[in-house]
Structure 1
Amino acid sequence: MGAPTAGSRHRIPLISGERTAPRRPRWAAVDALVAGTDFEHYFRLRRARDGDPFTVRFPGFGSVLFTGTSSGTEELLRAPAAILRPPQPNPIEPLIGSASLILARDQRHRDDRALLTPAFHRNRIAGYGTVIQNSTRTELSGNGIGPGWLPGNVIDARVAARALTLRVILSLIFGADDPARHRVYTATVGNFLTAFSGPLMLVPALRHNAFGYSPWDRFVRSRRRLDDLLDSDIAERRAGDRGDGVLDDLLSAHQPGEGAPDDSELREQLRTLLVAGHETTATGLVWALFHLHRDADALSRLRAELDTAGDLEPEDLARLPYLDAVCRETLRLHPPVPIVLRRLTGPYRLRGVDLDAGDTMGVALPLLHSDPDCWENPARFLPERFLDHRYSPFEFAPYGGGHRRCLGAGLADFELRIALATIVARVELSLPPRYRHGRIPRSVPHNIATGPHRGIRFVVEGIRHR
């Protein structure tokens, strides 16, 4: 039996009874716009109104059957890899390119993943600890993108977080630390990400030219500028000495005449690493600082742990239990990529609903991470819950799961912990009253990740001396 059609009311037999086929919204474009404006609110509204699973239709993409339960997540993530594909057309394809690991399938996906996996091996990630610390300290000192974190200064946390995480991923890709080159990339990548707005991602009809003045025209120009930078570095590495970055690994793995990828394919892999490798971590860092500075007890407990630990090596610092719990709780409340999608090439049943080849199923992480059957007081920021309990990958899945789990999850976790610890240990911050006591900002799509709908600013109150 295929996926239910619009307006269908047939019954789908289940072992435990019967379920009516999920209702499809009558006004799909309106629902998609609401979802893009506030994913979390929209998903909770749909669950409350229609139960689980429910269907969302995105313009130019098609319908997705979403679940937000641990049992549904387990069914989706345990689906046979042989019948799964990344969804096509993909909303982020203009950003990362069709050759990206994120969109690769079958043997190509396995080959590309095997090629990139060594760069994210635990031992290699540990070597980036000092790079992460130094990158964070560069921003704090004022030698990065924004002003120094000095008493009285106002800091846009999103700008600072993007700058320091981009510096780390540039070091991973290119190896040598070149401050001048990093500044060029920071400005270029920043413009590129800003140009790919939520509407362009969610409404493909907006992707058209208008004499060079449309949002799509601006995005295409910003992408071309980034590609020119990447092409220049690829050509330089091909012609000169190799280094120890991911780009050098990719070039060494594909010698000319051995099925080597062309420069456009390399460029899209590098573009993927640049975008996915820093934006998601930057978003997590902003949210972690936000919640800590709304919760004096949590901030005091984390500072006490850091002060007691003293000057640890980065790898040991990342293992501190309360620091780890703070980061996990932040990702529970604000998974940077809030949906996990799989397109089927064969029949499959999710939560009692029969799906056919070509149908798409997904996990709504904001629902999974707030399921009252699993999480007590799910709306509250309570890092302690991760000290007392170990959650399964079907209850807590901030990086997705299964054979397509985010390849850079280990680096993202490590980077978030080191950067957050470095900031909290060194600087006293405060939030403006509207953030300290008001509602939590909406989380909206920015490009590959979702984050606060506007920049969150902190006031530097003082410098800590340990």
Structure 2
Amino acid sequence: MSAQRWAPPRWSLLHGAAAGHDFEGYLRRRAARGDPFAVGFPGFPPVLFTGTSEGARELFRAPVELLEPPRPNPIEPMVGAASLILSSGPRHRADRALLAPALHGARVRGLGEVIREATLLEIEKGCGPGVSWQVGGRIDALAASRAITLRVILAAVFGTGGDRRAEYAGAVTDFLAAFTTPLLVAPVLRRGMGGFGPWARFVAARERLDRLILADVARRRRVRSETDDSTGDGVGGVGHGGDLLDLLLDIRYDDGSPLTDTELCEQLRTLIVAGHETTATTLTWALYHLHRERGLRDRVVAELPAASGDPAEQARLPLLDAVCQETLRLHPPVPIVLRRIRQPWRWRGIDIAAGQTIGLAVGVLHGQPATWPAPRLFHPDRFLDRKVSPFEFAPFGGGHRRCLGATLAEYELRVVLATLLTGVRLRLEPGLALGARPRTVPRNLATAPNRAIHFTRTQ
């Protein structure tokens, strides 16, 4: 690639506006000019993206010591520098090794009943803004999905007995709403104005959420001290001795040091916010397609009795699984993977200098016609008769920094959908059922539909 093609586009403000209007469409248009392709937004270093499986393979197989998250990072104000998402080097490897057992295998499967119960509770008691689960009621799919996934992640983090859901729901909702798209894509706006303005509102919302988290940390420490019981079974279930907060409190590094309160708060904030927002967005899109594509919902419902109501069996149903996979293919909730190069490296036939940022455009990868015929169509059956490579399908990233919560997110998505399809009957509003598909736009930690997706409950 010539130096001219590697240079980011001029008029970066206009490019930022175009990306904010239709993020995945913007990346597809840039990719159509050739791969790899350069992108640059105000306040961020230029990025050289790939959208090919060959580029993904090179990126995900790069030596561990070569790559780190870029700084400044668009989501750093939300998750914090100590978050697993942004840490690097030996600290990232240590944190990942300590946290991985809590988010994989038997422990995740042990949350099946918690996930189903959270969904049923939302159907029975949920009545937040834009959501009425009464027959004939109107339901904002994203609001309802967020309520369900927040119930799940709070139970996983704090245990069912410590769930202050209403307080957290308000704090998390305000926190997400305060981190607007301009703050996400333009760091120059992240400045105080005497306690006023969008940045001040976001900081206040973050402090409110952090106070809740730290109060629960202090409360748990008191309980552990009083009971002198700081060990858990480490498998399945939630509650004291079995939830993620206990795991974090038990963490000790090689020098014997625990997590500081700041580190605890940032890891927990990441788990709570990222752990429900990305799944809620995917759940919203899955419900949209299930009720838009002719006959698809009925096919999935016909498959459900084979699982006999067992969440683990539901998660293995082939068509339900294919619907979830196709949703993640067409609507990856985190559409880009970014890495900063620590040493000079040759990637995609180009010499990359130390300090430069490269990335994978996940939506472009998932739209390669050679891999995915008719890529813009929602066609879950494509996943029924083929195995896909992690370099062709990467909704959770890949390599040594693949999303640690992927197993929980995928399991939760399937169990929630199975519970909803069994418990209620929904009808997609006619304008959405017949009109053009909503665009995907950046929002907080994930992308989301650019307009509300509404359903009516019919029974």
Is TM more than 0.5 here? yes
Q: 2:66 aligns with which of 83, 95, 111?
A: 83
Query: Residue 254 of structure 1: CA displacement?
Result: 3.4
Q: 2:277 aligns with which of 276, 279, 288?
A: 279
After the TM superposition, which residues 260-275 of structure 1 pair with which residues of structure 2 at under 5 Å, given as runs? 260-275=258-273
1:393 corresponds in structure 2 to 390
CA distance in 1, matches of 2:107, 2:128: 27
Q: Which amino acid aligns with 1:173?
A: V
Matched, 1:56 2:47: no
- 1:85–1:77 distance in 2 versus 1, CA, 3 Å: same
1:338 corresponds in structure 2 to 335
After the TM superposition, which residues 120-131 of structure 1 pair with which residues of structure 2 at under 5 Å, given as runs? 120-131=103-114
After the TM superposition, which residues 363-402 of structure 1 pair with which residues of structure 2 at under 5 Å, given as runs? 363-402=360-399
Give structure 1 stretches of 5+ with no counterpart.
10-20
1:226 corresponds in structure 2 to 209
Q: 2:135 aligns with which of 137, 151, 155?
A: 151
Q: Identity across aligned pairs (percent)?
A: 52
2:234 corresponds in structure 1 to none
- 1:144–1:413 distance in 2 versus 1, CA, 3 Å: farther
CA distance in 2, matches of 1:185, 1:351: 45
Partner secondary structure for residue 260 of structure 1: coil
- Kindly indicate whether the alpha-carbon contact (under 8 Å) linking 1:139 and 1:145 is maintained by their aligned counterparts in 2: no
2:311 corresponds in structure 1 to 314
Matched, 1:92 2:75: yes
- Kindly indicate whether the alpha-carbon contact (under 8 Å) linking 1:23 and 1:54 is maintained by their aligned counterparts in 2: no
Q: 2:183 aligns with which of 185, 200, 206?
A: 200
- Kindly indicate whether the alpha-carbon contact (under 8 Å) linking 2:335 and 2:363 is maintained by their aligned counterparts in 1: yes
CA distance in 1, matches of 2:261, 2:401: 25
Greater alpha carbon shift after TM alignment, 157-166 vs 30-39: 30-39
Matched, 1:451 2:448: yes
Partner secondary structure for residue 444 of structure 1: strand
After the TM superposition, which residues 130-209 of structure 1 pair with which residues of structure 2 at under 5 Å, given as runs? 130-143=113-126, 145=128, 147-178=131-162, 181-209=164-192
Query: Residue 207 of structure 1: CA displacement?
Result: 1.0
CA RMSD of aligned residues (A): 1.7
CA distance in 2, matches of 1:154, 1:275: 26
- Kindly indicate whether the alpha-carbon contact (under 8 Å) linking 2:307 and 2:314 is maintained by their aligned counterparts in 1: no
Q: TM-score w.r.t. structure 1 length? A: 0.92
2:300 corresponds in structure 1 to 302
Query: Residue 145 of structure 1: CA displacement?
Result: 3.9
1:17 corresponds in structure 2 to none
- 1:174–1:272 distance in 2 versus 1, CA, 3 Å: same
Query: Residue 24 of structure 1: CA displacement?
Result: 2.8
Q: Which amino acid aligns with 2:449?
A: P
Q: TM-score w.r.t. structure 2 length? A: 0.93
Greater alpha carbon shift after TM alignment, 98-107 vs 30-39: 30-39
Partner secondary structure for residue 384 of structure 2: helix
1:353 corresponds in structure 2 to 350
Matched, 1:328 2:348: no
1:219-248 CA-to-partner distances (Å, cap 9, x unmatched) read 000000001111111111122235121111
Query: Residue 144 of structure 1: CA displacement?
Result: 6.1
Partner secondary structure for residue 138 of structure 1: helix
1:256-278 CA-to-partner distances (Å, cap 9, x unmatched) read x9322210111001001011111
